[in-house]
């Protein structure tokens, strides 16, 4: 399981499906040209997780 999914499930008490959907939305934002660091920041995460996102 992706580290980001685990973080969202534990930190935000999301279901597995909700967490997967959130990570997918974040990836789509990056693919649409947004800065990955800003996408992570918007969700309250440090840029350390950039490789988990891309």
Q: Which domain holds residue 50?
A: 21-54
In a domain, 15, yes or no: no
- pLDDT for residue 54: 84
In a domain, 34, yes or no: yes
In a domain, 42, yes or no: yes
Give how many domains the chain has, as a whole number: 1
Distance of alpha carbon 2 from the chain centroid: 9
* 39 burial level (CB within 10 Å; 0-12, 13-18, 19+): buried
CB 15 within 8 A of CB 9: yes
Residue with tokens 């499906």: 17
In angstroms, the CA 43 to CA 50 distance is 12
- pLDDT for residue 39: 97
In a domain, 53, yes or no: yes
In a domain, 10, yes or no: no
pLDDT per residue, tens digit, the chain (54 aa), is 799 999 999 999 999 999 999 999 999 999 999 999 999 999 999 999 999 988
């Amino acid at each position: 399981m992706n580290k980001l999914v685990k973080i969202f499930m534990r930190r935000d008490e999301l279901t597995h499906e909700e967490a997967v959907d959130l990570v997918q939305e974040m990836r789509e934002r990056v693919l649409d040209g947004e800065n990955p660091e800003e996408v992570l920041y918007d969700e309250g995460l440090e840029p350390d997780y950039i490789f988990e996102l891309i």
